[in-house]
Amino acid sequence: MRGIIMDALFAAMKADERVFFLTADMGINLVERFAESYPSRFLNVGIAEQNLIGISAGLCNLGYRPFAYTISNFLVHRPYEQIRNDVALHGYPVTLLGTSGGFDNAPLGPTHHVVDELGALGALAGIDLYCPSSTNCARELVGRLIERERPAYVRMPKDNFDHPALEGETAYLPGSGRQTLIIGYGATAPACIAVQETNPAVSVLICQRLRPLDEEVVAGALARHDQAIVVEDHLAASGVYGALCRLAMEYQIRCRVRSLAPDNYSLQVGASPRFYQARYRLDKGGIEEMICQP
Amino acid sequence: MPSACLRVEPNQVRATVLEMLYRAGASHLGPCMSVVDILVALYGAVDVEAIRQGRPDRSRIIVSKGHCAAAVYAVMHHYGLLSADALADYCREGSLLAGHVSHAVKGVEHSTGALGHGLPVACGCAIGLRSRGDEGSRVFCVMGDGELQEGSVWEALMFARHHRLRNLVPLVDNNRISSITATDRVIDLQPLENRFAGFGFEPYVVDGHDVEAIQEALESIERRGEPGVVICNTVKGRGVPFAENEPIWHYRSLGEEQFRAALAALAEAMRQ
Tell me the residues of A at the B interface, defined by beta carbons under 8 Å apart. 20, 40-41, 43, 45-46, 48, 50-51, 53-64, 81-82, 85-86, 89-90
Which residues in chain B touch residue A40, judged by CB atoms under 8 angstroms apart?
130-131
Residues 6 or more apart in contact with residue A190 via CB below 8 angstroms: A159, A161
The residue count of chain A comes to: 294
Residue ranges of chain A assigned to CATH 3.40.50.920: 170-292
* A50/B116 CB distance under 8 A: yes
Return the amino acid letter for A11: A
Which residues in chain A touch residue B158, judged by CB atoms under 8 angstroms apart?
46, 48
User: Is pLDDT at A242 greater than 80 in this prediction?
Assistant: yes
Cβ-based burial of B83 (10 A; exposed 0-12, middle 13-18, buried ≥19): exposed
Residue A164: its pLDDT value, please?
86
Distance CA A31, CA A19 (A): 14
B156 touches chain A (CB under 8 A): yes
Q: Using an 8 Å Cβ cutoff, are A60 and A90 in contact?
A: yes
Select from B119, B121, B127 the Cβ nearest to the Cβ of A43: B127
Residue B232: its pLDDT value, please?
98
User: Is pLDDT at B6 greater than 70 in this prediction?
Assistant: no
Residues above pLDDT 70, as percent of chain B: 98
Tell me which of B105, B127, B154 to substitute to probe the interface with A (most A C-beta atoms closer than 10 Å): B127
What's the pLDDT tens digit per position in B89-121? 999 999 999 999 999 999 999 999 999 999 999
* B117/A45 CB distance under 8 A: no
- Residue A180's alpha-carbon distances to A169, A176, A177, A195, A244, in angstroms, are 21, 10, 7, 11, 15
Distance CA A66, CA B121 (A): 13
Select from A41, A62, A90 the Cβ nearest to the Cβ of B125: A62
- Residue B147's alpha-carbon distances to A8, A55, A234, in angstroms, are 40, 18, 36
What's the pLDDT tens digit per position in B75-91? 999 999 999 999 999 99
pLDDT band at A168 (very low <50, low <70, confident <90, very high): confident
Residue B272: its pLDDT value, please?
86
Distance CA A253, CA A39 (A): 53
Name the minimum distance, in Å, from the CA of B259 to any CA of chain A.
Answer: 33
Domains of chain B, earliest start first = 10-271 (3.40.50.970)
Distance CA B129, CA B272 (A): 43
Select from B116, B124, B155 the Cβ nearest to the Cβ of A58: B124
Q: Using an 8 Å Cβ cutoff, are B3 and B47 in contact?
A: yes
Give Cα B228 distance to the centre of its chain.
17
Name the minimum distance, in Å, from the CA of B15 to any CA of chain A.
Answer: 31
Residue B2: its pLDDT value, please?
58
Distance CA A202, CA A204 (A): 7
Return the amino acid letter for B10: P
Which residues in chain B touch residue A81, judged by CB atoms under 8 angstroms apart?
114, 117
Which residues in chain B touch residue A48, judged by CB atoms under 8 angstroms apart?
155, 158-159
User: Is pLDDT at A204 greater than 70 in this prediction?
Assistant: yes
Q: If one looks up domain A170-292 in CATH, what number appears?
A: 3.40.50.920
Strand order of the β-sheet with A203-207 is A170-173, A203-207, A180-184, A227-231, A256-260
Residue ranges of chain A assigned to CATH 3.40.50.970: 2-155
pLDDT band at B125 (very low <50, low <70, confident <90, very high): very high
Count Cβ atoms below 10 Å from residue B248 Cβ, excluding itself.
Answer: 12
Residue B5: its pLDDT value, please?
54
| Fold of the domain spanning A2-155 | Rossmann fold (3.40.50)
Beta bridge partners of A228: A181, A257
Which residues in chain B touch residue A43, judged by CB atoms under 8 angstroms apart?
127
What's the pLDDT tens digit per position in B157-190? 999 999 999 999 999 999 999 999 999 999 999 9
Instruction: For residue B141, give the DSSP letter.
Output: E
Distance CA B184, CA B190 (A): 7
Is the bond preceding residue B191 a cis peptide, omega within 30 degrees?
Answer: yes
Residues above pLDDT 90, as percent of chain B: 96
Count Cβ atoms below 10 Å from residue B99 Cβ, excluding itself.
Answer: 18
Q: Which residue of B has its CA nearest to A57?
A: B121
Distance CA B21, CA B229 (A): 30
Name the minimum distance, in Å, from the CA of A88 to any CA of chain B.
Answer: 11
Q: Write down the mean pLDDT value for chain B.
A: 96
3-state secondary structure A224-283: CCCEEEEECCCCCCCCHHHHHHHHHHHCCCCCEEEEECCCCCCCCCCCCHHHHHHHCCCC
Element (H, E) at A292: helix A284-292
User: Is pLDDT at A266 greater than 90 in this prediction?
Assistant: no
Residue B112: its pLDDT value, please?
98
Residue A265: its pLDDT value, please?
82
Which residues in chain A touch residue B109, judged by CB atoms under 8 angstroms apart?
61
Alpha helices in A16-107 (DSSP H): 32-37, 49-61, 72, 80-82
B109 touches chain A (CB under 8 A): yes
* B159/A51 CB distance under 8 A: yes
The mean pLDDT of A254-278, rounded to a whole number, is: 92
* B124/A41 CB distance under 8 A: no
Q: Using an 8 Å Cβ cutoff, are B30 and B243 in contact?
A: yes
Return the amino acid letter for A90: H
Select from B111, B117, B132 the Cβ nearest to the Cβ of A54: B117
pLDDT band at B217 (very low <50, low <70, confident <90, very high): very high
- Residue B40's alpha-carbon distances to A32, B9, B35, B46, B250, in angstroms, are 44, 8, 9, 10, 21
Distance CA B73, CA A16 (A): 37
Residues 6 or more apart in contact with residue B53 via CB below 8 angstroms: none
Which residues in chain A touch residue B126, judged by CB atoms under 8 angstroms apart?
58
Residue B3: its pLDDT value, please?
55
B235 touches chain A (CB under 8 A): no
Give Cα A248 distance to the centre of its chain.
22
The mean pLDDT of B59-69, rounded to a whole number, is: 98
Which residues in chain A touch residue B131, judged by CB atoms under 8 angstroms apart?
20, 40-41, 62, 64
Residues above pLDDT 70, as percent of chain A: 100
* A86/B122 CB distance under 8 A: no
Is the bond preceding residue A151 a cis peptide, omega within 30 degrees?
Answer: no
Name the minimum distance, in Å, from the CA of B125 to any CA of chain A.
Answer: 5
Alpha helices in B25-132 (DSSP H): 29-45, 48-53, 69-78, 84-88, 118-131
What's the pLDDT tens digit per position in A133-142? 999 899 999 9
Residue A39: its pLDDT value, please?
97
Count Cβ atoms below 10 Å from residue B15 Cβ, excluding itself.
Answer: 18
User: Is pLDDT at A81 greater than 70 in this prediction?
Assistant: yes
User: Is pLDDT at B4 greater than 70 in this prediction?
Assistant: no
Name the minimum distance, in Å, from the CA of B194 to any CA of chain A.
Answer: 23
Instruction: For residue B228, give the DSSP letter.
Output: E
Distance CA B261, CA B120 (A): 40
Which residues in chain A touch residue B130, judged by CB atoms under 8 angstroms apart?
40
For B:167-226, CB contacts with A below 8 A are none
